[in-house]
Amino acid sequence: MEQAVPSSAPASPLEQVRARIAAAARIAGRKAEDVTLVAVSKTKPAEAILGLIAQGQTVFGENRVQEAQAKWPEIRAAHAEVQLHLVGQLQSNKAEDAVALFDCIHSVDRASLVTALGKAQEKLGRKVPCFVQVNIGAEEQKGGCAVSEVPVLLALAREAGLQIVGLMCVPPASIEAAPFFALLDKLADDNGLSGLSMGMSDDFETAVQLGASHVRIGSALFGER
C-alpha cells in the first residue's frame, strides 16, 4: 500500500524567518517588504550561501573584509542580483577594500573611519550607503560611538561625503532588547534618519515591531556556528 504524500513540505529556515518578519510587521501596522532581511553568512561556505540564493534571498552580510574577499567575487559574478553588506567592525586600513566590495556598510563608528571611507569613496568613484553604529548599551567591549556623540559623528560623516542612511546597534546580550531598539529609533528620528539596522536571530521580531529597516540574521537561517 502506498504511503500518503504530505500536501506540503516543511517550511525552510528562510521561509520561517520571512513568515516571522511578516507577522511582526503586521502587529506593528507595517509592511513586511519594508524590512530588509540581511542573511549573515560569516564563516559559512559558498554552498550554504548558494542554497539561500536559490530560494530567492538576495541580501547577505559578512563580518570581515578578508573573508568576504575570499568567497564573494565568484558568487557575485554568477549572481549579479545579490547585494553584500558589511555588518562587522571595519579597520580604517581596510576602508578602500570595503568600498570596492560592499554595497552597504553598517559599522561606521569613529572619526578616523569616516575620513578613511570618504577618501576611499572619492578615489574609487563609488558611493556606498552607510549606517552609523551606536554603542547603545555603553559596553566597553563593543564597537559603536557613544549615544552622546551621534550628532557629531553624523556631521563629520556628511562633511566627508558619506551617504548616511541610518543607525545600527547591537543591544546588550541576555536582557530585554526593546528599550535599546526604542532608543535607537528615537536617536534616528532626532537626527533626521529613517534607517534602523537592528535585530538578530534572538530578537528580530521585537526589532521589526519597533521600526527596524534591516535585520541581520545568521543562525536562524544557517544554523548555529
Query: Does residue 137 fall inside a structural domain?
Result: yes
Query: Does residue 5 fall inside a structural domain?
Result: no
Q: What is the CATH number of the domain that holds 166?
A: 3.20.20.10
pLDDT at 9: 65
Rounded to 5 degrees, φ, ψ at 196 are -135, 105
**Residue found by looking up cell 557613544 in the block:** 146
The number of domains in the chain is 1
* CA gap 98, 69 in Å, rounded: 9
Element (H, E) at 36: strand 36-40
Q: What's 199's DSSP letter?
A: -
Exposure of 110 in the CB half-sphere (CA atoms within 13 A): 11
Q: Which domain, by its residues, includes 23? A: 13-222
* CA gap 149, 137 in Å, rounded: 14
> What's the whole-number average pLDDT of the chain?
94
**Residue found by looking up cell 544557517 in the block:** 222
Look at 42 and 2; give whichever has higher pLDDT.
42
Taking the whole predicted model, whether its pTM rises above 0.95 is answered as: no
pLDDT digits (tens, 9 = 90+) for 98-112: 999 999 999 999 999
> Who's near 68: CB < 8 A, 6+ residues apart?
62, 84, 86, 101, 102
Query: Does residue 1 fall inside a structural domain?
Result: no
Query: Does residue 108 fall inside a structural domain?
Result: yes
